[in-house]
Amino acid sequence: MFRTHLKKEFLRIFKDPAVIITIIGGVLFYAVLYPQPYLNQLPLQQSIAVVDHDNSPASRRLIRYADATPEVHVAERVSSVSEARTLLLDGQVRGMLIIPRHFERDLGLSRSPVIGLAGDANFFLIYGTVIEGLAGAVMTTSAIARVRELMLDGVPLSFAVKDWSPVYLNERPLFNVGMGYLGYVLPAIFILILQQTQLLAAGLIGAERRVKSGFSLKQAALLFASRFVAMFVVYFLLTQFYMGACFEYYGISRNAAILDLWMMIAAFLSASIALGILFGQLLPRRELAAPLVMISSLPMAFTAGFIWPRELLPEPVLWISQWFPTTSAIQGFLKLNQMGAEFSQVLNHWWALWALAGFFLLLSLVVLTRPFPQSQTT
């Protein structure tokens, strides 16, 4: 009996064009489309305009240092701030460097000249890159000026450098080695894509076969089990594709042991598929599946804790987000696979997913055994 129902569920998946496009086409489409804007990782060599009111050797040295950084490129040299501002507003440059008068004199007198930095804040990554590059160039110029000042006072070079910087930093990123957007956000987005395409597919199947009179508990359990196994097999393979071939192709780090990864995948898929079966049985029409899934995607992304810190979210939003499998799954996968955490360190996320799977299972059985007065599509 179970084998017969399982075969029917596989046929419903692979014979329904809408479901096939959602599961296979959607997953493959997003695997190629979503990473495209971020393949270059960081926005380097951003063009800037320079306004040099000092026109001294020190100011020209600062401009050379700025142009030598990987973050910015000196594209325009103008005589006034208004010209530079016009270029920035027109999109011809992404930032400005304004060097004040008496810049060299103030450095020599150990004063702090006020240097103007500006970036295009319409794009956070571009703005951060421009400001980081210009600030680094300014700090380098200031530091070299300080060393020269000490050496002119008769301080040996080794002591002058020590006086300038008594603490040396060796900064090495542990997790996002490339410090790029792709390795940071793509692993989490892939989890969201897997859940949302699965919800849409399960909604299409469930709404199409929505029972009118209600099943017995045995029939409901049989339907749930067969649909669950069919979706689990399909999405387990798709998850392996995302975390295997896609991670390898895009150069995303993988630190989890394969058994730990499979255990987390099993918990995530169980919770997600149980929610999908419940979602499909509650839908009165299959046409509602796509808009509901689309509307819910953005809130799930922003409450999962990888785009916006969860500590800054309101308590009611945090409580609601715990009912989405993606919340615990994304946190668990990022810690386990990207940060190299031990499985014992993600047990809270693992158990949370199993608790959601059990809860959605019970609700699905309740819904499947209750009669629905609406007409159904056969």
What is the rounded CA–CA span in Å between residue 111 and residue 118?
Answer: 22
What is the rounded CA–CA span in Å between residue 271 and residue 279?
Answer: 12
Single-letter amino acid, residue 155:
V
What is the rounded CA–CA span in Å between residue 49 and residue 40?
Answer: 23
DSSP, res 100? P
pLDDT of res. 232:
93
Q: What is the mean pLDDT of residues 372-377?
A: 48
pLDDT of res. 209:
62
pLDDT of res. 172:
62
Give yes or no for residue 178 having a pLDDT over 70: no
pLDDT of res. 371:
65
What stretches of 40-137 adopt beta strand conformation (E)? 46-52, 72-78, 95-99, 116-119
**Residue 161 · residue 250 · CB < 8 Å:** no
Q: What is the pLDDT of residues 248-266, one digit of tens each?
A: 888 887 788 889 999 999 9
Which residues on neighbouring strands pair with residue 119, listed in sequence order?
Answer: 95
Reported residue count of the chain is 378
pLDDT of res. 306:
80
How many CB atoms within 10 Å of residue 345?
Answer: 13
pLDDT of res. 155:
41
CATH class of 46-164: alpha beta
Q: What is the pLDDT of residues 35-46, one digit of tens each?
A: 776 666 667 788
What is the rounded CA–CA span in Å between residue 206 and residue 288?
Answer: 12
Give yes or no for residue 49 having a pLDDT over 60: yes
Single-letter amino acid, residue 127:
Y
**pLDDT bucket at 212, cuts 50 / 70 / 90:** low
Single-letter amino acid, residue 103:
F
Lookup: tokens for 22: 């959602």
Q: What is the pLDDT of residues 5-34, one digit of tens each?
A: 788 888 888 888 888 888 888 888 888 887
Domain ranges of the chain: 2-38+180-368, 46-164
pLDDT of res. 18:
84
- Residue whose pair of structure tokens reads 């897997």 in the numeric block: 194
Instruction: Say what the pTM is.
Output: 0.70
**Residue 252 · residue 38 · CB < 8 Å:** no
Q: What is the mean pLDDT of residues 363-374?
A: 75
Lookup: tokens for 40: 């270059």
Percent of the chain's residues with pLDDT above 70: 83
